[in-house]
Amino acid sequence: MERESLGFAHRFVPGADPAAPILLLLHGTGGDEDDLLGLGKLLLPDAGLLSPRGKVLENGAPRFFRRLAAGVFDEVDLIARTAELAKFVRDAATAYAFDPARLIAVGFSNGANIAAAMLLLHPDVLRAAVLFRAMVPLKPPKMPDLSGVPVYLSAGRFDTMIPPVNTEQLATMLREAGADVTLAWTPQGHNLTPDEVDAARRWLSHQESLFAGS
């Protein structure tokens, strides 16, 4: 299903099991609403999929928020765009009649960064998150309460775009907020590998709290 009436060009694919989680799929720079649909199906075959397209263009490439340079984010824009995305998610839950309490973010690169920002700024929106190639998006004005929120970070030891220390800082920040963080390192760069996807799939399958009642 494809709509633009909720403020974002997006796709929604109902889940095979109505009680299964909904995956909020957030693409990287240059991606679109179709990019991560296959990834979502690999991670949780029965889940519903909600996949918006970023509204910011950088040399024609869609992103979810502006950056001033590589690794330097426009925090004012990031805060506003994160609030806009949170509203989209709530509106989509009403429009597509799914339980927003079962929403799991799956993001890659720029999409992972805005998902991390949503955890930090709007902690009530996401039930869990799988973040591939994420970095610290910003320091929130106050630390949120992420108690009971499982977060999976998959990072590349040889990622030239994200220094490993930055990913470690994000893991520490989320843990200090109470999140249950798993940080998985891979001997890769910024590219995503099938082994990483499989590891994330296995991690998701062991998060019993996400599937209670399904």
Residue 159 among the catalytic residues: yes
Residue 154 among the catalytic residues: no
Q: Choosing from 35, 51, 109, 154, which is the catalytic residue?
A: 109
Rounded to 5 degrees, φ, ψ at 56 are: -90, 135
Q: Choosing from 159, 180, 198, 206, which is the catalytic residue?
A: 159
Q: Choosing from 190, 198, 205, 206, which is the catalytic residue?
A: 190
Integer Cα distance of 10 and 96 in angstroms? 12
Amino acid at 159: D
Residue 190 among the catalytic residues: yes
Residues with catalytic annotation?
109, 159, 190
